[in-house]
Amino acid sequence: MHLEHIIPKDLGGLTDLDNLALSCSHCNRRKWTKVDGIDAQSGKRTRLFHPRTDTWAEHFQLDRETGQIYGLSAIGRVTLRELGMNEPVVVNTRLKLIEFDLI
């Protein structure tokens, strides 16, 4: 796991507990300095999921059979795409975590 700045330091984010979160290395590398993206459904610029203020279940749904995560909102859809959360290597890892009842 990586310690991630939710608001990147390059964009003025502070290194304090309110702006830090744990992230897998894949998502942390994909996020880099991103804070938003374009939602393919609405065409609108939308912020990424904020793990300190947003509720996971409002924005995402996990399919435990396939390991895929689905976006339930613009925030969820943008976060999934920008972080590559359903790329094969991530889904395969997620399926192993599900198999061992770790998620």
Judge whether residue 10 has pLDDT over 90.
yes
Domain count, the chain: 1
Question: Tokens 């590398």 label which residue?
Answer: 29
Range of the domain at 21: 2-99
Q: How does pLDDT run across 41-68, given as a tens digit for each residue?
A: 999 999 999 999 999 999 999 999 999 9
Task: Answer whether residue 99 shows pLDDT above 90.
Answer: yes
pLDDT tens digit sequence for 16-47: 999 999 998 999 999 999 999 999 999 999 99
- The model's pTM is 0.92
